[in-house]
């Protein structure tokens, strides 16, 4: 074993993260990450867990008791939801309108669900009628749909789906990783049974913790499959025959760990808990509606800016998330080289794309801490310079001016 000389302490370069996420965290979230640790059952720890649950009830707009964090990135939350709700062979309906719809289907398939998909063209959302028609046809146990799919920037309207799911006896699950905090979200008012997210988008934290909330109906499903793990199981503890085929992502055990019984499961990721708590605290301190409005304004300014600069926006703008816009890469501009110049010369990061859009569009985000005027204007100014350098026809200064106008007239 030969090893390179030891590196020094971590010392990241200055970056303005204006891609589809992860984005630059709020400074106070970073400060929270470095707070000293306490023990797993320290009264301060359990109080902080309870407090964090209550904060996320505010973020989700829910009264759900079962509002916790899954210790992993957003897809850990997705997998925890699907593997805990869906028994092998049960039907799951996934309306797919971008990459993350495919991900929900993929995770449900691995959980041995019978997966049915319907697909919308990239850049479009589904009508309520199209989803209801599929529910009637498939009769799924769970409807699983993302709210915002960063791959296309689309924001699927969810507000009418809960009533439809309730009418048809379907559990209604959405992943709001890309959208939560930057767009309206009402877990209870929209009739959601399960919702999951991550910190690294509009919540303004690092990836690695997945907020999740479950309705009493969803908790009943999870509880019916409960199996307390060997090593801590006591006489009389449940051991369902159709227990969840994951230990780490078994919501039955995760809820018992967060609940009054405090049954040992994983060792809660304390620093991520601190960070997640601060993300929610900041959001509620600013106000849920005010944070969405800040994202709406930043998104409107960025949209006006890229359009005024002469760039073509991808997808159905009427259904775009507030926090991300996709623009077509101008003819002749090498997409990756231009993104590299933005990063190297300005420290500004914008995003590339997946699947059918790869090489065709850039994605520019305005999320969390970076849903700010100076971040929007700096990004547009840097983009001006880089587009000009690569010979794209640009209208110098017009993007910045248009974005500034949006802020001025707000």
Q: Per CB under 8 A, which of residues 191..250 are in contact with its own copies?
A: 198, 200, 206-208, 229-232, 243-250
The residues in 337-376 that bind its own copies, with binding defined as CB under 8 A, are 343, 349, 354-355
Q: Does 11 bind its own copies (CB under 8 A)?
A: yes
The residues in 135-154 that bind its own copies, with binding defined as CB under 8 A, are 151
Shortest Cβ 377–its own copies spacing (Å)? 20
Task: State the number of binding residues for its own copies (CB under 8 A).
Answer: 101
Q: Does 393 bind its own copies (CB under 8 A)?
A: no
The span from the CA of 142 to the CA of 119, in Å, is 17
Q: Does 314 bind its own copies (CB under 8 A)?
A: no
Q: Does 180 bind its own copies (CB under 8 A)?
A: no
The residues in 94-113 that bind its own copies, with binding defined as CB under 8 A, are 99-103, 105-107, 109-112
The span from the CA of 15 to the CA of 209, in Å, is 22
Site string for its own copies, 282-311 (x = CB under 8 A): --xx--------------------------
Q: Does 385 bind its own copies (CB under 8 A)?
A: no
Q: Does 269 bind its own copies (CB under 8 A)?
A: yes
> Given the complex with its own copies, which of 106 and 293 has the nearer CB atom?
106
Q: Does 76 bind its own copies (CB under 8 A)?
A: yes
- The partner residues of 213 in beta bridges, in order of sequence, read 67, 195
Shortest Cβ 57–its own copies spacing (Å)? 7
The residues in 50-69 that bind its own copies, with binding defined as CB under 8 A, are 51, 54-55, 57-58, 61-63
Q: Does 176 bind its own copies (CB under 8 A)?
A: no
């Amino acid at each position: 074993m030969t090893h390179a000389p030891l590196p020094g302490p971590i010392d990241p370069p200055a970056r303005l993260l204006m891609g589809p996420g992860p984005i630059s965290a709020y400074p106070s979230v970073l400060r929270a990450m470095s707070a000293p640790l306490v023990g797993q059952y320290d009264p301060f720890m359990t109080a902080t867990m309870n407090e964090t649950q209550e904060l996320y009830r505010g973020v989700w707009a829910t009264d759900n008791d079962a509002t916790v964090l899954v210790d992993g990135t957003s897809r850990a939350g997705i997998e925890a939801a699907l593997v805990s709700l869906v028994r092998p062979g049960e039907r799951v309906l996934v309306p797919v309108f971008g990459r993350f719809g495919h991900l929900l289907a993929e995770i449900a398939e691995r959980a041995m669900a019978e997966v049915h998909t319907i697909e919308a063209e990239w850049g479009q959302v589904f009508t309520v009628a199209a989803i209801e028609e599929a529910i009637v046809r498939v009769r799924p146990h769970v409807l699983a749909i993302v709210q915002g799919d960063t791959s296309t920037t689309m924001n699927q309207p969810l507000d009418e789906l809960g009533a439809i799911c309730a009418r048809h006896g379907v559990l209604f699950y959405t992943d709001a990783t890309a959208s939560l905090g930057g767009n309206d979200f009402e877990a209870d008012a929209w009739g959601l049974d399960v919702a999951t997210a991550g910190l690294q988008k509009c919540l303004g934290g690092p990836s690695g913790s997945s907020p999740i909330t479950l309705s009493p109906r969803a908790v009943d499903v999870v509880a019916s499959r409960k199996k307390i793990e060997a090593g801590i199981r006591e006489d009389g503890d449940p051991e369902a025959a159709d227990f969840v085929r994951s230990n780490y992502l078994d919501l039955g055990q995760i809820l018992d760990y967060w609940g009054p019984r405090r049954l040992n499961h994983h060792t809660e990721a304390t620093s991520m808990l601190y960070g997640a708590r601060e993300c929610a605290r900041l959001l509620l301190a600013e106000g849920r509606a005010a944070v969405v409005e800040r994202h709406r304004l930043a998104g409107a300014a960025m949209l006006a800016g890229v359009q005024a600069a002469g760039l073509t926006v991808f997808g159905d703008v009427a259904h775009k998330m507030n926090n991300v816009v996709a623009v077509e890469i101008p003819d002749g501009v090498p997409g990756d080289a231009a993104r590299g110049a933005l990063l190297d010369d300005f420290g500004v990061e914008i995003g590339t794309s997946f699947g059918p859009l790869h090489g065709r569009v850039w994605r520019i985000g305005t999320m969390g801490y970076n849903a700010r005027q100076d971040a929007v204007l700096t990004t547009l100014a840097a983009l001006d310079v880089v587009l000009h350098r690569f010979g794209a026809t640009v209208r110098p200064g017009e993007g910045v001016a248009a974005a500034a106008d949006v802020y001025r007239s707000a």
